Amino acid sequence: MTRTSIKSYLLENPEAVLVLDGGQGTELENRGIQVANPVWSTIPFINESFWSDPASKDREIVKSMYQAFLKSGAQVLMTVTYQASFKSVSENTRIKTLPQYTELLTKIVSFSRECIGSDKWLVGCIGAWGAHNCSEFTGEYGPEPEKIDFLEYFEPQLSTFNVSDDLDMIGFETIPNFHELKAILSWDTSIISKPFFIGLSVHENGLLRDGTTMEEIGRYIKSLGSNLNPNFFLIGVNCVSFNHSSEMLESLHRELPDFPLIAYPNSGEVYDTVKKVWNPKESHTYTWDDIVKKYKASGVRIIGGCCRTTPSDIEAISEAVHQSRQQ
Ligand SMILES: [Zn+2]
């Protein structure tokens, strides 16, 4: 592998900020893929023709999405596997067995690597448990969330990503529930053997969707001390309101001043998980330039966009990151 490890790069270059890509689900939809289905943006890969038909239109669309994010300045890109847990895939597609599932994920990862080239970092995306039943924006995980077997849910996706040389990092996205966060943080290097980050799903009032404060989360992480999996090296927020995102990061940074943060907010539109539509946003209070400055002041080291952000947002982030580097 020709790339430096992303973890070493960030630790050895404390001033560096990396640009992440934008909402892949949104971008695929904008480019003509119908994503409204239980495996969401992973849908193009489910069709056998994606792999067998040299003229597959969907394959061209996925490639062009990556090209657009690369052209906008993204240095870190994500696989389109947010809603691709074994549960979601096996219950809703023709892929039913673990070997078939592992083969599918492996093909998606190596295709994504081909699209972005060998010099960019690639993140294996894993959506929250709540992504399989649309509760990642409510955090309502039923009456006994502490009894959910999160490991059973995540294990097939994790174990495939763990062994992929094409992936530099694993990203847990849109985690809305404290029990889920604690479960992930209890797993050692035998369960998560690659560097990983956790993106929290936070309400615009600054609380995790289930009501936990950022302070509680920070204190909990500190309390784990040397029991933390050494591969866990970034925490932050994703798919949260653009306008309110900087305060959440300030709170996390106050509790965890030495911990690198990651942030990729959505455009500020609000997703209606029942009607499956995005409702119009309040207008942006800030520009990406303002937001990037605020993020940097809070120790954010990887910045990108989530749902409803596009390559033009990534271009604005990239410009802001490079400008603030020169100051
Ligand atoms: Zn999102």
CA of 54 to the centre of ligand 1 (A): 30
CA of 151 to the centre of ligand 1 (A): 23
CA of 2 to the centre of ligand 1 (A): 30
CA of 308 to the centre of ligand 1 (A): 7
306 marked as part of a ligand binding site: yes
**Domain spans, the chain:** 6-133+140-326
CA of 26 to the centre of ligand 1 (A): 8
CA of 82 to the centre of ligand 1 (A): 9
| ipTM of this predicted structure | 0.98
Q: Where are the beta strands (DSSP E) in 43-180?
A: 76-78, 121-127, 169-175
CA of 137 to the centre of ligand 1 (A): 10
Q: Is 168 helix (H, G, I), strand (E, B) or coil?
A: coil
CA of 186 to the centre of ligand 1 (A): 25
CATH number of 6-133+140-326: 3.20.20.330
> pTM of the entire structure?
0.96
What is the predicted pLDDT for the residue at 327? Answer: 56
CA of 239 to the centre of ligand 1 (A): 4
Q: What is the pLDDT of residues 240-264, one digit of tens each?
A: 999 999 999 999 999 999 999 999 9
- Compute, in degrees rounded to 10, the torsion defined by CA atoms 200, 205, 210, 211: 120
Which pLDDT tens digits describe the chain residue by residue (327 residues)?
Answer: 579 999 999 999 999 999 999 999 999 999 999 999 999 999 999 999 999 998 999 999 999 999 999 999 999 999 999 999 999 999 999 999 999 999 999 999 999 999 999 999 999 999 999 999 999 999 999 999 999 999 999 999 999 999 999 999 999 999 999 999 999 999 999 999 999 999 999 999 999 999 999 999 999 999 999 999 999 999 999 999 999 999 999 999 999 999 999 999 998 777 777 777 888 776 777 899 999 999 999 999 999 999 999 999 999 999 999 986 655
